Amino acid sequence: MGILNVTPDSFSDGGQFAALDGAISHAERMIADGVDIIDIGGESTRPGAPPVSVEQELSRVMPVVYALRDCGKPLSVDTRRPLVMREVLMAGADMINDIEGFRHPDSLAAVRDSDCALCIMHMQGEPQSMQQAPHYDDVVAEVGAFLRERVAAAERAGIARQRICIDPGYGFGKTFDHNLKLLAWQSELQQAVGLPVLAGLSRKSTIGHLTGKPVEQRLAGSLGAALFAAMNGARIIRVHDVAETVDALKVWEAARRAR
Ligand code: 7PJ
């Protein structure tokens, strides 16, 4: 899964057309590099990022969905808002990636009547404050229980299990130790919930913590994390660097299959 941010801070001059142009060429690059799913996000959820209005989010995301709907790759939209979910699904999006795990009271209803895929992610707290004092008694058990509960809620709402993948939510209300423990136990988490895992560690602070590198030098560390995640239950790897990750996964997959 390739990350396509359409937040103004992702593009140097910030203009609407420049942002749309930049997003389309970035998507074309990712397709040429072998991406399987394009994840479009119009809300920055970095720790401490300010919230955006629903109008702003729609004005960022909708033109990109329309421009890419016939690109031949499934489109995922990273959103927490039921209104945005409904609009992008009507426009042809294939997957909704909700960092809140569809906890908004209208979000399951927003996706129920389509046949879209869902990514249910765990987050403790809210993006603006989630890194202030994350706390768990047993992070693996608590994230697992949350994901099981949200999957059950989706099923009660009439959503087939086959549509759902789960995500431990690396970096979302978690310390370095929490993130590392979740990665170490990701296989068990996957088995406890019984659904495919989506893992997003690309360039995150966990990689920075382990390598001592700033965000623009985290490619090699991110590839290490991607391989470890893939070997431990992840079936979708959410990344910035598509070409390099595809190569790394090809090598691992060929070795695995040759056995
Ligand atoms: C994730 C995400 C993630 C899913 C972001 C960043 C922060 N969606 N959206 N999983 N992270 N499902 O990319 O650094 O880990 S935004």
Is residue 230 within 8 Å of 249, Cβ to Cβ?
yes
pLDDT, position 62: 97
CA gap 199, 253 in Å, rounded: 17
Beta bridge partners of 97: 78, 119
Q: Number of structural domains, the chain?
A: 1
Residue 196: HSE in the Cβ half-sphere, 13 Å Cα cutoff: 14
**Average pLDDT, consecutive stretches of 10 residues, N- to C-terminus, the chain (259 residues):** 83 66 96 98 82 93 97 98 98 98 97 98 90 94 98 98 98 97 98 98 98 98 98 97 98 96
pLDDT, position 167: 98
> Per the confidence metrics, is the pTM higher than 0.85?
yes
Determine the residue of 57, 99, 167 to mutate for testing ligand 1's pocket, defined as the one with the most ligand atoms within 8 A of the Cβ atom: 99
Domain that holds residue 212: 2-258
pLDDT, position 9: 58
Is residue 3 within 8 Å of 41, Cβ to Cβ?
yes
- Give me 159's structure tokens: 């959503």
Determine the residue of 40, 78, 218, 236 to mutate for testing ligand 1's pocket, defined as the one with the most ligand atoms within 8 A of the Cβ atom: 78
In this structure, what CATH number is given to the domain that contains residue 56?
A: 3.20.20.20
Is residue 16 within 8 Å of 26, Cβ to Cβ?
no
Q: Residue written as tokens 């040429």?
A: 32
